[in-house]
Amino acid sequence: MLLIRTVFCSLAFLISIKGNLSAQKRIDVKKGKLVYNAYANQGESNAINTIPDFSFAGYKKGGVSLPDVPVKITVQAKSGDCTSLIQEAINKAASLPLDQNGFRGAILLKKGIYRVDSSLWIKASGVVLRGEGNEADGTVLVSTKKSKNDFIIIKGNGNGYGEIKDSRKRIVNKYLPTGTKTFEVEAGHHFSMGDAIVIQKIPNEQWVKELEMGQYGWKAEDYKMDYERTITAIKSNSITIDIPVVDPIEEQYGYGEVFKSNIKGRISTCGIENLRLESTFVSDEDENHGWTAIVLSRAIDCWVKDVVVKYFGYSCVSISDMSAFNTVQDCAMIDPKSITTGSRKYSFNIDHNSMGNLVQRCASWGGRHDYVTGARVPGPNVFLDCFAENTFADIGPHHRWATGILFDNIYGGQIRVQNRKAMGSGHGWAGVQILFWNCQSAKSDIKVESPKGAMNWGIGNVGEIQNGDGYWESWGAHVEPRNLYLKQFGGTPGK
């Protein structure tokens, strides 16, 4: 198993505290339990929001150990191109019946070097691709294709949330705060306990104006945000959901609606395990070679663990296209080969309407945005106990209103949530309801800015420079609990 360092150094100096400080902690620990204290968002006075529960991120909604799927197919390395050898084994596994737990079986790639000249595709649920070690003498898959390409792709089909006709209803609360699980809908609905739903936040142009984002090309119609949830209780027009709201809905800035969802086509219960993935390259700035090592696309309840990735240009793992409740753990992205600018060297990336994902105990060396999210990414998502060295840009949400992300015990260079303004052709506010908890920046800054009507937090962080006027608590000294995510559900996932 790849060993990931998660013990952080502490700095011997403190820097004067600035920003939005409060005598009352946002989260207390009393008698061993977390207590969430209410607060008002930036520029507001109604103290009714609370930091949300992030513990629903990860395989099977968090707190569930990753499965050990029995081996059904064994493959030996051979000389030459092994693309067909591996793909045929994947296809054979895909033809096996699903067992009662939703698994078809694991493919074991024995130790050796497998040269692969094309992408490998997993398109059926319940298939696991497993090696015999991520060391140089373990199971090594080498991407040899001399053009930009994704290497191992776990991909479902279909699109959208499967909105059920005539199920959409308006949320009637004038203010739906961060952290809540209960809200009111208009009468005449047909929702029931157990329904899969989507909460849609629909902003107006006043919201764009108040944030001063129009100058960067923002339009309200482009910022509808969709949040998958499940109804856990219902009483008349009052609905309770499993996962809390991570972005407030405020009447003056728009409204919210709810509809029943019947999502089809997602791939599930697939895994990539215990492998070493390398790409050929001709120079440090070569871009015609392996780009993303592992892609999860429209995937749910999948995992990647104990995988070492070297020399790919973009990412170790990229999660996209409405992927949910996946876990990436004990993985490393090392020495990426591409130019060091633009959309490159995003070591662990969550993008495109993906929520409920957990990246834990991972490492990177030589990346830019090592633990990062893209535009309009719904939460919760969690990065836990990860570190980055030799970094060239910041860790954090990258652009255009990602919501509800916990960075828990992250060690790196720049760690930032901010208004990026015109950067990247109008990134603007990168994220909201972003929590940096017990993070540490080596010889760089931690920046926390908060937009009007939202909040970002820096709690228990240590760094060389404290930057931004967001909420700060215990700058220069870590706080208890060490891991908020683990304390929120009271366990240690993925063991």
- pLDDT tens for 352-391 read 899 999 999 999 999 999 999 999 999 999 999 999 999 9
pTM: 0.94
Could you tell me the two tokens for 208? 């764009």
What integer pLDDT is reported at residue 343 of this predicted model?
86
Summarize pLDDT for 151-169 with one digit per residue, the tens: 999 999 999 999 999 999 9
Q: How far apart are CA 105 and CA 36, in angstroms?
A: 43
Q: Kindly report the CA angle at 136 between 134 and 140, in degrees rounded to 5?
A: 65
Q: 376-408: string of b/e by CB count within 10 Å (b at 16+)?
A: bbbbbbbbbbbbbbebbbbbbbbbbbbbbbbbb
Could you tell me the two tokens for 83? 């693309």
Q: Kindly report the CA angle at 417 between 411 and 422, in degrees rounded to 5?
A: 130
What integer pLDDT is reported at residue 20 of this predicted model?
46
Q: How far apart are CA 217 and CA 236, in angstroms?
A: 41
What integer pLDDT is reported at residue 346 of this predicted model?
96
Q: How far apart are CA 480 and CA 457, in angstroms?
A: 15
Summarize pLDDT for 250-306 with one digit per residue, the tens: 999 999 999 999 999 999 999 999 999 999 999 999 999 999 999 999 999 999 999
Q: How far apart are CA 134 and CA 136, in angstroms?
A: 7
